[in-house]
Amino acid sequence: GAVVSQHPSWVICKSGTSVKIECRSLDFQATTMFWYRQFPKQSLMLMATSNEGSKATYEQGVEKDKFLINHASLTLSTLTVTSAHPEDSSFYICSARDPGDGSPLHFGNGTRLTVT
Amino acid sequence: GQNIDQPTEMTATEGAIVQINCTYQTSGFNGLFWYQQHAGEAPTFLSYNVLDGLEEKGRFSSFLSRSKGYSYLLLKELQMKDSASYLCAAMDSNYQLIWGAGTKLIIKP
């Protein structure tokens, strides 16, 4: 079945640095990928919708200049957390839809970001 | 390894009750989530259980048994709009979400 690979699984960085998270669809082309954020014991919150070849659509309250999304190819979307702060520490998860099989979104396993 | 099992597809009748089961095996446990997802849309959060027992929220209820590695989502008074996929996800000790493949629920009039 379709697989979405997300890398890295976890990352620790210092405050003020930037972190890039990759989301890859391994066996299908994904014109649309979704990025979510989840705090411990809370629900998944949609951050933005990443569209191949165009600008991402951000949800209300999500800073587009802080969370840079690039969807340069049909199999790769990246989320860059710029100038990270401790409050950005969270669990980030991507998902992608395979338009060819009509199935639900396929999810990556997520990235645990800790900013010290 | 870590694993989530839930049925691939279920069919129920409008107005009836349906129970969607989920079993999980994770390295540590930090709660179990249920999400609803309509085709082509982002999932929407339904419930979160971290303690044993039943959590009721309107027409939807979720149950957890940590000792059995088991959860179920109960949907009452089914409506046509409930036709969707229902995703079960368990959070392990590293706060990684282990997702099930989803149960496609088909509601018939």
Asked if B102 lies within 8 A of A44 by C-beta distance, the reply is: no
Q: Establish if A37 touches chain B: CB-CB under 8 angstroms.
A: no
Distance from CA of A44 to the nearest CA of B (A): 7
With an 8 Å Cβ cutoff, the interface of chain B facing chain A consists of 30-31, 33, 35, 37, 39-40, 42-43, 45, 48, 50, 85, 87, 94-99, 101-102, 104
- What pLDDT, on a 0 to 100 scale, did the predictor assign at position A1? 56
Question: Concatenated DSSP letters for B64-80?
Answer: EETTTTEEEEEE-S--G
pLDDT at A81 over 60: yes
**Cα B60 to Cα A26: distance, rounded to the nearest angstrom:** 35
Tokens of A83: 């100038």
Poorest-confidence range of A55-59, A82-86, B15-19, B93-97?
Answer: B93-97
- What pLDDT, on a 0 to 100 scale, did the predictor assign at position A103? 46
- Name the nearest CA neighbour of B43 among B4, B85, B14, B91: B85
- What pLDDT, on a 0 to 100 scale, did the predictor assign at position B41? 57
Span B40-86, pLDDT tens digits: 555 677 888 889 999 998 999 999 999 999 999 999 999 999 999 89
**Cα B16 to Cα B77: distance, rounded to the nearest angstrom:** 5
Span B5-47, pLDDT tens digits: 999 999 999 999 999 999 999 989 988 989 887 765 556 778 8
pLDDT at A101 over 60: no
- Name the nearest CA neighbour of B51 among B34, B73, B31: B31
- What pLDDT, on a 0 to 100 scale, did the predictor assign at position A107? 77
